[in-house]
Chain A
Amino acid sequence: MSTAQQEDLQQKEQQLSTESRPQSAQSRRFATPLVDIESTEDGYVLYAEMPGVSKDGIEVTVENGDLLIVGHRRPLEVSGEPIYRESRLYDFRRVYELDPSIDTSRVSARIENGLLIVNLPKAEKVKPRRIEVE
């Protein structure tokens, strides 16, 4: 293959790859945070690892029975050039289908040292309750 042909082919490949990956919000890449879920009598507690995410970068949304957690990373200010990199700068995102017994109006969240903690309390009416016999 001549060099001209090769260049032509390369151009076509580039065109193809840019066309197939439109720059829309849907195609943005996210990292999946590592999550622990604890089940208690009162509900669930979710612990999501989001290093590099501060309080301002957290979005917790409950919609149509789904819990969406998003963490926007704010890279640290560092002088100089990276000489070695293992971290990925993608934002974090994960969706969970909620147990219908969760009282969505009382969902609360906080972040401590890059660990997002979401409290998902169960509605009062579904908690086990002991009935006194009269």
Chain B
Amino acid sequence: MNIQRFQRYSQPELSRAFDRLATLREETDSLFNTPFSPFFRTSGSFSTWSPAVDVHEDKDQFTVIAEVPGMKKEALNLTLQNGVLTISGEREREEKKPDQGFRSERFVGRFQRSITLPASVDPSGVKANYQDGLLKVVLPKSEEAKPKQIEVSVS
């Protein structure tokens, strides 16, 4: 009888397993994104978190709300470029003594979400505020994007 030495997974196999997990996650994400995938791009993959985002529209403005609880206001960044609103930020752990017992479900570290707005907005009128862990960004539509009624006189 042969006695074989027990071996843990060697390194290449392990990393392949993680690769598979990462692709699985991306595929799952894409399932949920499908109808809106041209609007939304989640950057990064395994190491980042991705806060939930809602977008509302009325005739004058878009309102984007992101769920980012437990952040410092200073740690949130907003940029608007070519009609793409990017929300990014970084969250740190709350606990003071990490060597003690800890059970963690919350995500820490950097996140970034980019939202392509369906119509052009006026960058000078963008307002944002952070309350109860919700980041609310109001983006007024630019004049040419607002619906207009054109009266045509029939002669």
Contacts and interface: CB of A to CB of B under 8 A. Distances in A.
B63 interface: yes
A47 B108 CA distance: 13
B65 A76 contact: yes
Contacts of B61: 79-80
A53 interface: yes
B113 to A, nearest CB: 10
Size band of the interface chain B makes with A = 35 or more
Give the interface centre of A34, A37, A38, A85 by most chain B CB atoms within 10 Å: A38
A8 interface: no
Interface in B50-74: 52-59, 61-63, 65, 67-72
Interface string A87-119: 110000000000000000000000111110100
Given A36-B94, A114-B70, A83 B130 contact: no
A52 B67 contact: yes
A52 B132 contact: yes
Contact of A47 (B70, B101, B107, B136): B70
B63 A79 contact: yes
A79 B56 contact: yes
Contact of B130 (A81, A111, A113): A113
